[in-house]
Chains A and B, each alone.
Chain A
Amino acid sequence: GQQLNQSPQSMFIQEGEDVSMNCTSSSIFNTWLWYKQDPGEGPVLLIALYKAGELTSNGRLTAQFGITRKDSFLNISASIPSDVGIYFCAGQRSSNTGKLIFGQGTTLQVKP
C-alpha cells in the first residue's frame, strides 16, 4: 500500500542528544499522527496534529504539522534509554474513513 516517506530509517545516538525525524508526502493530509512502538507491543500515540502549521509538545517531544500539509517532523530532546523503539508517522486524508497512511518507521537506539 501507499506509504509516506519517513526518514531517517534508523538512528543510533548517545543519551542526552536531541533527535529529529520527519515524514513527507506528495499528497496533502488533514491529520498527522506520531506513534511509538516498543518490541512486541502495539503503537502508542505520542502526538496528534490537526492544523497546518500546528506545533505541539508532549514532554520532551515536539511535533509540527507542515504549512504545506505535506510533511511533519518529530523532535525528541535530551534522549534517554527508554526512548528506544520504532517511531511511525501516519497521515489521514479524510476524517470520514479514518484510514491511516503510515511511514516506514524510524528505529531509534540510544546508547547510555
Chain B
Amino acid sequence: DAMVIQNPRYQVTQFGKPVTLSCSQTLNHNVMYWYQQKSSQAPKLLFHYYDKDFNNEADTPDNFQSRRPNTSFCFLDIRSPGLGDAAMYLCATSGTGLGTIRADTQYFGPGTRLTVL
C-alpha cells in the first residue's frame, strides 16, 4: 500500500547529541512536511519542502534542520536536542500522487516519539 513511513518509531537521545529522524513516502507526493506534536496539543508545523524548495516556519528554532535528497525521502535533523524538544515528530505529504483525493490534502506518517535524556 502507498504510504508515509517514519523510522524509527521511537528514538532516545542524550541532551545535546545530534539526532536524525527519517521519513519516506511511496505516494510520489511533491510536498513533504515536518510537524512537532507535544502531549495533548495539535501538531505544529516546523517546515515543509515543495519539491526541492525549503520553506521554514518563522518560529522554528535554528536547532531544527531538514534535508530532502529526493522525492521519496525527507530527514529532520536536531542539532543539539534539549529537554524541551522531547515530542512526537510527524511527517506528512501532499501532492497529486497515488490514491490522493486532492493535491492539497495532507497524509501523515505514524510519527517518531523522541525522548531526550
Instruction: Tally chain B residues at the interface, Cβ within 8 Å.
Output: 29
- Tell me whether A88 and B111 are in contact (CB under 8 A): no
- Tell me whether B108 and A100 are in contact (CB under 8 A): no
CB within 8 Å for A35 and B108 given contacts A48-B102, A98-B94: yes
- Tell me whether B105 and A33 are in contact (CB under 8 A): yes
- Tell me whether A1 and B108 are in contact (CB under 8 A): no
Tell me if B101 is interfacial: C-beta within 8 Å of chain A: yes
- Complex interface: stretch among B12-20, B43-51, B67-75, B76-84: B43-51
CB within 8 Å for A98 and B42 given contacts A1-B59, A41-B111: no
CB of B30 to closest CB in A, whole Å: 10
Question: Which residue in B4, B44, B102, B111 is a CB contact (below 8 Å) of A1?
Answer: B44
CB of B83 to closest CB in A, whole Å: 20
- Tell me whether B42 and A103 are in contact (CB under 8 A): yes
- A88, A92, A95, A100: which has the most chain B beta carbons within 10 Å? A100
Which residues of chain B in 38-61 are interfacial with respect to chain A, using CB atoms and an 8 Å cutoff? Answer: 40-45, 48, 55, 59
With contacts A31-B104, A45-B105 known, what are 13 further pairs, Cβ within 8 A? A3-B42, A40-B88, A42-B108, A42-B109, A43-B108, A45-B108, A48-B101, A88-B42, A98-B94, A98-B104, A99-B45, A100-B45, A102-B43
The 8 A-B residue pairs with the shortest CB-CB distance, nearest first, are A102-B42, A42-B108, A95-B104, A42-B111, A43-B108, A42-B110, A98-B104, A48-B105
Question: Which A residues form the contact surface with B (CB < 8 A)?
Answer: 1, 3, 31, 33, 35, 40-45, 48, 50, 88, 90, 92, 95, 97-100, 102-105
